[in-house]
Chains A and B, each alone.
Chain A
Amino acid sequence: MTTPVPGRAFFTRRSLLLAGGALAFSVRPAHAMADELVAAMRAFTGGAATREGRVKLDIEPLVENGNAVPITVTVDSPMTGADHVKQIAVFNQKNPQHDVIVATLSPALAQARLATRIRLATTQQLVAVARLSDGSLWTHTVEVVVTLAACLE
């Protein structure tokens, strides 16, 4: 069983190191969506594929007071009868409940935009998902640092 396999020398130490480095990058990109977010989104998306882009979740990256954090979700859409945003949902990673808001829009709106104030329990990721009238789903993931947490006092 110890006979050398032809071509085995292909796995030199250098090639293994390079492969390991490439693997590490593919597993954890800069904005990898946390598992909790993926699970929370599944109820909304029904397991359909989502893509990054078209949605912008506007929030301060450094939150001083997690009790009322202003957020604005904007989707790039003309909001006509044929091409509009049907729903916008926001999910969080580390609050006791992952849902934040699910808004249903209509072509009577001038812009696909929603502003509200939310609670954040701790430093975490947030995701905004938009469902367009053609059925496609677009996301934007952001990371926020929270210094004073909500839900504790």
Chain B
Amino acid sequence: MARTLIQVPPTAKRGDVVEVRTLIAHTMETGYRAGSDGRTLPRDIIRRFSCRFNDELVFSAELHPAIAANPYIAFALRATASGKLTFSWEGDNGLSQTESATLTVT
């Protein structure tokens, strides 16, 4: 399991802009670099990130090797109702990780 960092304010006023920032610890090996033995290291990247709010897909992204190591993705959600945010990362070598955060709208 890779370490993740998710920053979502725990509470927000209705209609506010909720800044969602996510980061996952991952090398994002491009498949172009040579290893210590001189041979090219195989590609190992995160290919897809998605964020669901109460099971509704609100944001997703296809990542390519040009995304830096430890992919950081940030976007701005609108606070409409309280609920659960589910973040998932899928990638090479069967990587699949899901984390969640709760948002309370007052």
Contacts and interface: CB of A to CB of B under 8 A. Distances in A.
B5 interface: no
Interface in A98-141: 99-106, 108-111, 113-120
Contacts of B78: 79, 108-110
A45 interface: no
B68 interface: yes
Contacts, number: 100
Interface in A47-98: 67-69, 79, 92, 95-97
Interface of chain B: mostly helix, strand, loop or mixed: strand
A153 interface: yes
A119 B75 contact: no
Contacts of B18: 110
A115 B61 contact: no
B4 interface: no
A96 B68 contact: no
B60 A99 contact: no
B58 A106 contact: yes
Interface residues of B, number: 32
B62 interface: yes
A17 interface: no
30 contacts: A68-B68, A100-B64, A101-B63, A102-B62, A103-B60, A103-B75, A104-B59, A109-B77, A109-B78, A110-B17, A110-B76, A110-B77, A110-B79, A111-B76, A113-B75, A113-B76, A114-B74, A115-B21, A116-B67, A116-B71, A116-B74, A117-B71, A118-B66, A118-B68, A119-B30, A119-B65, A150-B68, A151-B30, A151-B33, A153-B33
What is the size category of the interface that chain A forms with chain B?
20 to 34
A100 B63 CA distance: 7
A102 B66 CA distance: 12
B80 interface: yes
B95 interface: no
B58 A67 contact: no
Nearest to B62: A102
